[in-house]
Amino acid sequence: MNKNLMLGAAALLLAASGANAELVTINFEDLAPGTAISNQYAPLGVRFATSPAYDNRGVLHSAVSVLDYSDGSFRTNAVGLWGSAIALTFDSDISNFAVRFFDTDRGSLLGRVRAYNAQGLLMAHVTDMTGNFNASSFYENTLRVAVGGIRFIELTADADGAMIDSISFLRVPSPGALAALPVGLLALAKRRRS
């Protein structure tokens, strides 16, 4: 293998190991209002689920669904949170999870994020009020858990009017994908020699 090819392979390997996380953002704006969310974001490595729950009007909600809510200049597509937990299950480890909670009833609410690892052990949690009053007459707050190795997130809130939006996280590729890179580089080097 010539010197330039070896240097190039080493640079590729270093770049790949340094860039081993991808920022994923989900804002639900690609889904139509009323869509039940489950596997639509599977290509991004996440699936949504919820347990059935009744809202304060006695309406049963048995799926995570997209809402199209507008009030003046404020408009967003978000996931309704009706007193039950919304579960996000990830295909591979993620880190630095963030989600925006806000209240459609123009009051504050208590939002909760719990992060679990692949073995089901609680790794981190945050509970906070949506106390930041924005220009559109909603209380909102972004809750974050800045740990790695997350495979499961549970979101809950204490208000029927709670909504979530703007989910983001860092997706870490599986170790096998990164470990295969040197093998691919060697194959490329052999191919160039022949």
pLDDT tens across 141-164, in order? 889 999 999 999 999 887 666 788
Instruction: Please write the tens of the pLDDT for every residue from 3-45.
Output: 454 445 444 444 444 457 899 999 888 888 878 888 999 999 9
Instruction: Please write the tens of the pLDDT for every residue from 56-81.
Output: 677 777 777 777 765 544 556 666 67
Give the helix ranges, DSSP H, for the chain.
3-18, 175-193
- Burial category of 128 from C-beta neighbours within 10 Å (exposed 0-12, middle 13-18, buried 19 and up): middle
pLDDT given for residue 176 in this prediction: 52
pLDDT given for residue 167 in this prediction: 94
Fold topology of 19-189: Jelly Rolls (2.60.120)
